[in-house]
Structure 1
Amino acid sequence: MSIFLLLLAAALWVGWHVGVAGTALRGRIVGLTGEMGFMIGFSIGSVASIMLLVMAWQGAELWFLWSAPRELRWVLALAMLPSFILFIASVTQPNPTSAGQKLAAGGPRGITRVTRHPMLWSFAIWAGVHMLANGDVASLIFFGAFLATCLLGMPSIDAKLARRDPEMWARLAPTTSILPFGAVFSGRGRVEFSEIGLRPLVLGTVLWVGLLLAHPIAFGVAAIHF
């Protein structure tokens, strides 16, 4: 039964973020409540849904499907480094998720040349890594809910951006991509590492090392085994 409750909580989390925030339903709600009213209600719903998801995960049975070998854990730990770098870049540089208004004036710069959604990719990598590392049904559902939200949210955000500011979208879409480096590999764009700078790399690496060391204390299990 607890796995079933976890499935319901995961469906609520994904549905709240993709089915409400990412559809025309959002516009209808904003028409009734105003933008501020929607944001308050959406924030309350988000906190409630993630609390339910965490509690359902903690109470679910442990049905193991596989146990990640030591070598895979090293690979997964290394895969978390770009997640931290993308996260730092997403909160320090303009991108469609966090600073769309800044993009309107200058066009794509910095991390946006790599991907339009650095923060969502950061969480997507985090979720995918933990699905592979844990190997149990409850973790697949729990982290899978975040992975699904991120992957479904990217085209949803793009669609909202295109509707809200067609002029900016016309400048952004041809030279950027959802998939990291997708526009670069297809010849539509280029990456200027000088625009990204050292801050995401340095701070991301520091946070990565810090979390590797603190993981046993914070979460009760070592991220890697020597």
Structure 2
Amino acid sequence: MNVAWWTTSHTVMAALLIGFAIAHSGLAALRPWGEGLIGARLYRVGFALVSIPFATVLIIYFFNHRYDGATLWQVQGVAGVQATVWILSAISFLFLYPATFNLLEIAAIAKPEVHLYETGIIRITRHPQMVGQVIWCIAHTLWLGTTFTLVTSLGLIAHHVFAVWHGDYRLAQKYGEAFIAARDRTSVIPFRAILDGRQTLHLKEFLKPAYLGVSAFIALLWWGHPWLMVMTAKVPW
């Protein structure tokens, strides 16, 4: 590609993102067949053994190449920007990780199921992971301002936008009319269903250990962020 700012790392990251999207969404699509073949728990273990290492590679590669390519803007010295980025990042994790509350199912201790939720954060948006990813991408693209970060963010957002359609499709296949009714009472765009009267927030629904765990994770990430940068830099990618 004859573009001055497009480095080899841009190509590698784009390929990694495409590979992860195919693996993650492909395994999700094959879930009914796979669970019928080897059982729900074993399929979940296989899913994790593919997705977690792949995601770890993506994260390390992003950390190590985040300043590659051209610098589109530089706002790291502007007052208030760092605080804004940290606040947006914290909000993004509140959307990203409580999207799935059944930790025992994630770990395959309990039998993994496909659930139809309509409470808690789902009242705000039916696809909180997509919303959280978009917020994370906006925050980090603002902070880093490089073409590598922009390419990474656009790839992540594209995958999650596809996942919105794919997730709704799989829920419709499993739940039929029950999902259609739930879809009509919720929205993809944050707070839209609340603003037009289809949903009402119930704050007690947010009093769950998952939110406490995410809050602790955000605090740990803030504390350990410099150490994380040092450790990933030791990986020769």
Normalised to the residue count of structure 2, the TM-score between the two structures is: 0.69
State the distance in 2 between where 1:30 and 1:149 align: 22
State the distance in 2 between where 1:9 and 1:68 align: 28
After superposition, the Cα gap between the structure-2 partners of 1:214 and 1:16, relative to the gap in structure 1 and judged at 3 Å, is: same
| Mapping of residues 115-134 of structure 1, within 5 Å | 115-134=125-144
After superposition, the Cα gap between the structure-2 partners of 1:32 and 1:208, relative to the gap in structure 1 and judged at 3 Å, is: closer
Amino acid at match of 1:142: T
Hey, which of these two has a bigger chunk of helix by percent? 1
1:141 Cα shift? 2.8
After superposition, the Cα gap between the structure-2 partners of 1:187 and 1:21, relative to the gap in structure 1 and judged at 3 Å, is: farther
1:38 Cα shift? 5.7
Match of 1:50 among 49, 55, 58: 55
> Greater shift after overlay, 149-158 or 33-42?
33-42
**Which residue number in structure 2 is paired with residue 184 of structure 1?**
194
1:169 Cα shift? 0.3
Match of 2:18 among 11, 23, 29: 11
Aligned-pair identity (%): 19
| Mapping of residues 80-99 of structure 1, within 5 Å | 80-87=89-96, 89-92=98-101
Q: Is the 8 A contact 1:5 1:56 kept in 2?
A: no
**Which residue number in structure 1 is paired with residue 168 of structure 2?**
158
1:67 Cα shift? 1.7
Task: Please give the secondary structure, in 2, of the residue aligned with 1:116.
Answer: coil
**Which residue number in structure 2 is paired with residue 169 of structure 1?**
179
Q: Is the 8 A contact 2:13 2:152 kept in 1?
A: yes
After superposition, the Cα gap between the structure-2 partners of 1:87 and 1:44, relative to the gap in structure 1 and judged at 3 Å, is: closer
Unaligned runs of 5+ in 2: 1-7, 107-111, 231-237
Unaligned runs of 5+ in 1: 221-226
**Which residue number in structure 2 is paired with residue 62 of structure 1?**
68
Q: Is the 8 A contact 1:22 1:153 kept in 2?
A: no
State the distance in 2 between where 1:92 and 1:161 align: 17
Q: Is the 8 A contact 2:88 2:135 kept in 1?
A: yes
State the distance in 2 between where 1:39 and 1:159 align: 20
State the distance in 1 between where 2:153 and 2:50 align: 19
Aligned residue-pair number? 211
**1:106-136 CA-partner distances (Å, limit 9, x unpaired):** x622222112222343333223321221122
After superposition, the Cα gap between the structure-2 partners of 1:100 and 1:8, relative to the gap in structure 1 and judged at 3 Å, is: closer
State the distance in 2 between where 1:41 and 1:191 align: 36
State the distance in 2 between where 1:28 and 1:215 align: 38
After superposition, the Cα gap between the structure-2 partners of 1:199 and 1:82, relative to the gap in structure 1 and judged at 3 Å, is: farther
Amino acid at match of 2:170: K
After superposition, the Cα gap between the structure-2 partners of 1:73 and 1:100, relative to the gap in structure 1 and judged at 3 Å, is: same
Task: Please give the secondary structure, in 1, of the residue aligned with 2:98.
Answer: helix
Normalised to the residue count of structure 1, the TM-score between the two structures is: 0.71
1:28 Cα shift? 9.1
State the distance in 1 between where 2:97 and 2:60 align: 28
